[in-house]
């Protein structure tokens, strides 16, 4: 019952905060941190128990729900799900621990954070298609309230746009799920059975329409260009920990969903359209980098880099599914790289958004030109921001390089011309992050920042833990690759 406990404990913690009114600010925060740590410990224990040489899905927990419809409460992990779920649990712990203005509503704020942790982990741990959809949709509720009640700027507008836009994607996803379910025989929502059945193989054009529904739903969540317009404003107006969760966890539901459902359950159809998905990914890579370079708003710049980096992830997934046979080694590298990119992006961009929150707390502005010359006044902030920026631009020795190297090696083996075009994104990303560091920390110090405070212990401790894993993955990636690789090898048919 490890996985059920990983979902249930934060949900119970959220209920305790929501319905017990006698919580002080510090009490609610400490309780939320302790509660958020429990799923992290359970995921680490799952990591220890996971056998890379064992069956594809392990630690399976299953209870029949509506047997006549093939519905059940089914949880389990493969290597990809385990890696992403563990990263997500770590990021939720960091979000709960990072200082934030709760606007006099600490128990409500932390209750929504814990609720969001429960349903987010549910997406990655589900082995039932309908259960996956339920958790996928409930994420909208938690993030809507975190942005709308604790954001700044135009939070209600941003929260509503986020909710309606991503709900549209969820409706397309639901239709696609029903199409896949009705094609199965016997009818079931069990993901393991659907992967084995491949129910829409050779059924055109119905298979193409179902794939379109899945791609639309997950492209909005990821997001890919041109379905990205909800993202920048939602990030800018959200409180920093919510931005970290949105970028680090919720965006991964789109790319993870692509792997778990259409890639795994519709292999033939996915292969037929993989090139178009890869082209869309490259467009997102270049568009996200170019537009990010033009942003003077710190948070908006980081938000557009998410579009760029999630483009790399989708490129790896598309390359991995491009062929039913042939180039297995290249395709496996691409899928392994896409998974590492999800983990790395969660840690790196989550850290960058938390740092942006520290800027907001001190200056009430994300305008980079409002700062400048802070390197001598805030050396800890400068160092950690530089580390996160270098990791995001793909510097060797850090997690981003490991991910992108796998993706590009795999892409060169299948679509070499697309890999050449996508490499331009790395160059632009390097420019935008170096310029960001120059505008924030170098040059002349404005007079109003003569007393600019450096990161507090509670801030640099959280950032230090997240970025320590970025360095560890960059220097010693085998502990992560060993978990992911057997699953990616199985999915591409190489083993």
In order, the DSSP letters of 295-359 are: --BHHHHHHHHHHHHHHHHHHHHHHHTS-SSS-HHHHHHHHHHHHHHHHHHHHHHHHHHHHHHHH
Task: Measure the N-to-C terminal CA separation of the chain; round to a whole number of Å.
Answer: 30
Q: Would you write out the chain's pLDDT as a tens digit for each of its 495 residues? A: 899 999 999 999 999 999 888 888 889 999 999 999 999 999 999 999 999 988 999 999 999 888 878 888 999 999 999 999 999 999 999 999 999 999 889 999 999 999 999 999 999 999 999 999 999 999 999 999 999 999 988 889 999 998 998 899 999 999 999 999 999 988 999 999 999 999 988 777 889 999 999 999 999 998 999 988 888 889 889 999 999 999 999 999 999 999 999 999 999 999 999 999 999 999 999 999 999 999 999 999 999 999 999 999 999 999 999 976 778 899 999 999 999 999 999 999 999 999 999 999 998 899 998 998 898 899 999 999 999 999 999 999 999 999 999 999 999 999 999 999 999 999 999 999 999 999 999 988 888 888 899 999 999 999 999 999 999 999 999 999 999 999 999 999 755
**pLDDT value of position 312:** 96
The torsion angle over the Cα atoms of residues 228, 233, 234 and 236, rounded to 10 degrees, is: 130
Report d(CA 345, CA 205) in Å as an integer. 36
**pLDDT value of position 67:** 81
**pLDDT value of position 469:** 96
**Residue 68 CB neighbours (<10 A):** 7
Those residues whose C-beta lies under 8 Å from the C-beta of residue 115, and which sit 6 or more positions away, are 10, 11, 14, 142
**pLDDT value of position 11:** 96
**Residue 402 CB neighbours (<10 A):** 26
**pLDDT value of position 129:** 95
- What are the residue ranges spanned by the domains of the chain? 290-495
**pLDDT value of position 473:** 97
**pLDDT value of position 235:** 86
Predicted structure pTM score: 0.95
Q: Output DSSP code: residue 367.
A: B
**pLDDT value of position 494:** 54
**pLDDT value of position 128:** 95
What number of helices (H) and strands (E) belong to the chain?
A: 20, 2
**pLDDT value of position 495:** 53
Q: Which two tokens stand for residue 259?
A: 């792997």
Q: Output DSSP code: residue 446.
A: P
**Residue 230 CB neighbours (<10 A):** 21
């Amino acid at each position: 019952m490890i996985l059920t406990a990983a979902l249930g404990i934060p949900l119970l913690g959220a209920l305790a905060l929501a319905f017990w009114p006698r919580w002080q600010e510090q009490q609610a925060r400490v309780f939320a941190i302790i509660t958020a740590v429990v799923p992290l410990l359970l995921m680490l224990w799952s990591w220890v128990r996971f056998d890379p040489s064992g069956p594809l899905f392990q630690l399976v927990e299953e209870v029949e729900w509506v047997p006549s419809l093939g519905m059940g409460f089914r949880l389990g992990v493969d290597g990809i799900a385990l890696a992403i779920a563990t990263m997500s649990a770590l990021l939720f712990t960091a979000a709960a621990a990072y200082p934030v203005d709760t606007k006099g509503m600490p128990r409500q704020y932390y209750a929504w954070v814990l609720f969001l942790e429960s349903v987010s982990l549910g997406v990655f741990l589900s082995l039932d298609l309908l259960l996956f959809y339920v958790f996928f949709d409930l994420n909208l509720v938690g993030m809507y309230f975190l942005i709308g009640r604790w954001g700044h700027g135009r939070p209600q507008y941003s929260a509503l746009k986020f909710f309606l836009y991503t709900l549209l994607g969820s409706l397309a996803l639901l239709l696609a799920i029903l199409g896949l379910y009705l094609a199965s025989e016997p009818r079931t929502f069990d993901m393991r059975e659907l992967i084995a059945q491949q129910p829409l193989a050779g059924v055109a054009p119905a298979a193409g329409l179902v794939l379109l529904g899945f791609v639309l739903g997950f492209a909005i969540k990821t997001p890919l260009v041109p379905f990205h317009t909800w993202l920048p404003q939602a990030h800018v107006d959200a409180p920093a920990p919510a931005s970290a969760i949105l970028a680090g966890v919720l965006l991964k539901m789109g790319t993870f969903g692509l792997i778990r459902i259409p890639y795994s359950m519709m292999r033939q159809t996915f292969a037929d359209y993989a090139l178009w998905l890869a082209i869309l990914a490259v467009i997102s890579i270049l568009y996200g980098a170019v537009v990010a370079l033009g942003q003077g708003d710190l948070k908006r710049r980081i938000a557009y880099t998410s579009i760029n980096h999630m483009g790399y992830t989708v490129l790896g997934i598309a390359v991995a599914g491009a062929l039913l046979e042939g180039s297995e080694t290249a395709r496996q590298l691409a899928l392994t790289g896409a998974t590492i990119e999800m983990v790395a992006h969660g840690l790196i961009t989550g850290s960058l958004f938390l740092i942006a929150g520290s800027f907001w707390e001190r200056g009430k502005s994300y305008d980079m030109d409002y700062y400048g010359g802070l390197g001598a006044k805030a050396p800890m902030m400068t160092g950690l921001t530089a580390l996160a920026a270098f990791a995001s631009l793909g510097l060797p020795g850090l997690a981003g390089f490991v991910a992108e190297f796998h993706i590009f090696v795999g892409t060169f083996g299948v679509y070499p011309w697309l890999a050449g075009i996508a490499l331009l994104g790395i160059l632009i990303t390097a420019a935008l992050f170096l310029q960001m560091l120059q505008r924030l920390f170098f040059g002349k110090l404005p007079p109003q920042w003569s007393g600019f405070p450096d990161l507090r212990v509670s801030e640099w401790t959280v950032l230090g833990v997240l970025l320590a894993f970025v360095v560890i993955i960059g220097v010693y990636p085998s502990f992560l690759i060993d978990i992911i690789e057997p699953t990616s090898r199985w999915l591409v048919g190489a083993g």
